[in-house]
Amino acid sequence: MDGAARLIAFPASPQDRLRLSARRLEAALQEQAEAIRDFHASVGELSVAMGRLRHNVGNYRAALDELADSVAAVPRPNAACR
């Protein structure tokens, strides 16, 4: 750009301004509806991820319990044998 100010045409009549405002409001409402849909989709994805995490943590706890049982079953040397 050459640095000159760019003029934007402004609707002259009140009806034109109202129509322009209504179009902009409709566009904003559509953007908001899309954002809400995206948010709901993200919440659904988060729910699935949390379910997988819950499952994996359960498996991890079960493995730790199994390891604890295995360690508890190992005979311990007597203090006199040292």
Residue 30: CA atoms inside 13 Å, Cβ hemisphere, count?
6
Q: Extract the tokens encoding 68.
A: 């604890």
Give the pLDDT band (50/70/90) at residue 66.
Answer: very high
32 located within any domain: yes
Report field, pTM of the whole predicted structure over 0.85: no
pLDDT of the residue at 25: 98
- Return the amino acid letter for 68: A
Q: Extract the tokens encoding 25.
A: 């409001």
Angle at 47 between CA 42 and CA 51, to 5 degrees: 145
30 located within any domain: yes
37 located within any domain: yes
49 located within any domain: yes
Q: How far is CA 23 from CA 7, 13, 57, 68, 71, in A?
A: 21, 15, 51, 67, 71
Give the pLDDT band (50/70/90) at residue 35.
Answer: very high
27 located within any domain: yes
For 46, list phi and psi in degrees, rounded to 5.
-65, -40
78 located within any domain: no
pLDDT of the residue at 81: 60
9 located within any domain: no
Could you give the number of structural domains in the chain? 1
Please give the residue range of the domain that contains residue 52.
14-72
Q: Extract the tokens encoding 2.
A: 């050459």
38 located within any domain: yes
Percent of the chain's residues with pLDDT above 90: 72
